Amino acid sequence: MKKTVTRLADGRELIYYDSDSPRPGEEDVVRDAVDRRPLGPVATTSEIRSDPLLGDAVAIASHRQGRTYHPPADECPLCPSREGRLSEIPDSSYDVAVFENRFPSLAGDSGRCEVVCFTSDHDASFADLTEEQAALVLDAWTDRTTELARLPQVEQVFPFENRGEEIGVTLGHPHGQIYAYPFVTPRTALMLRSAERHRAETGRNLFDDVVARELAESPERTRVVLEGEHWVAFVPYAAHWPYEVHLYPRRRVPDLRALDDAQRAEFPRLYLELLRRFDRIFGEGQPRTPYISAWHQAPFSAPGRDDYALHLELFTIRRTSGKLKFLAGSESGMSVFINDVPPEAAAGRLREVASE
């Protein structure tokens, strides 16, 4: 991987991640393009407020009302720049590019938000990437986790992808985001408490036991979707979403930085296969499945970090063809999920649509 760090016209950081192997017919990449847009400085109003009843944090970010919303494809701010249309990426092509969000939910002492562009191909999706391209994205996620961990205000790094207008995506270009939080997120804090309680009651690691349970549930392994030598993917016993898969490395690690070479080498193949299966869940001719793909990493200094397990959670809000799972009264009002698709049935369907 070749990494090039530069700045956009308003001072935001831009990082290019290029493959060590140039494309056929191309020379080694030189990143010297300058952002020629007349941008003023970024002005943010991000503020973290604590809810006294729930004890969680809410980011108030009114400046985000002005962010770019469903632009035409020829005005996409994530495509490479060309004459007559300058974008967030000053160069004429790129492999993977990461830059500070111009409309961040978190900024300054409140953390940091970055945009991760997976490819310069506007019409692609992550599932369309080659294994080499997916490995480069994994390298970028890992490098950003390493760099953001050095910021004194950052406690937890969350790389994720939202895909599909049903999810709320406002830019069609294949991209994800990274949120660097100045606190331990509520969901992670809850998992840490569960792990601590499990350790006290059994002397064992909760995450290890969850994976072991799925692998030993029955001879048929009814909720296991996909296995490799170093990773395993399964629909969890109490899945919240209609189609939800958790992907774990078999050797527990706290975050992306701790993955070994064998785990890194196997990840692209398994992850791409999961994404392609998601696109086939509802049958041929259906729109691509909207999803959220979320990396769960251990906080950097919270008690229980060593007991935490890096894993990826992939889920869709579509419950059947043409129908979405809405977070209505029980889910939104009381945080009690009601899932219409049995996890065993979801896992069975995801096995049925395996690539040949």
Under 8 Å between Cβ of 182 and 154: yes
Is the domain of 137 the same as that of 207?
no
What pTM did the predictor assign? 0.94
Same domain, 11 and 137: yes
Q: Are residues 213 and 175 in the same domain?
A: no
Domain span including residue 106 = 2-181
pLDDT confidence of residue 220: 76
Domain count for the chain: 2
Exposure class string for 175-209: b at 16+ Cβ within 10 A, else e: bbbbbbbbbbbeebbebbeebeebeeeeeebbbbe
Of the three residues 181, 216, 250, the one that is the final residue of a domain is: 181
Q: Which residues of the chain have pLDDT under 50?
A: none
Catalytic (active-site) positions: 175
Please give the share of the chain, as a percent, with pLDDT higher than 70: 95
91 and 232 part of one domain: no
Question: What pLDDT is attached to residue 42?
Answer: 81
DSSP 10: T
Indicate if 174 and 209 belong to the same structural domain: no
Q: Which of 181, 200, 228 is the last residue of a domain?
A: 181
Give the residue carrying structure tokens 């996909």. 226
User: Residue 348 carries which DSSP code?
Assistant: H
| Same domain, yes or no: 171 and 194 | no
Give the residue among 41, 47, 167 at the shortest CA–CA distance from 102.
Answer: 41
Q: What is the pLDDT of residue 32?
A: 84
Q: Where are the alpha helices (DSSP H) in the chain?
A: 131-148, 186-202, 206-216, 261-278, 334, 343-352
Cα–Cα distance between 257 and 1 in angstroms, integer? 15
Q: Are residue 93 and residue 120 in the same domain, yes or no?
A: yes
- Say whether both 194 and 171 belong to one domain: no
The answer on 249 and 213 residing in a single domain is yes
Could you tell me which of 324, 269, 292 has the C-alpha nearest to residue 131?
A: 269
- 252 with 145, same domain: the answer is no
Q: What is the pLDDT of residue 61?
A: 85
CATH number at residue 117: 3.30.428.10
Say if residue 37 is in the same domain as residue 126: yes
- Round to whole Å and give the CA distance between 223 and 248: 14
If asked whether residues 267 and 160 sit together in one domain, one would say no
pLDDT at 227: 95
The residue among 128, 148, 181 that closes a domain is 181
Q: Are the C-beta atoms of residues 7 and 13 closer than 8 Å to each other?
A: yes
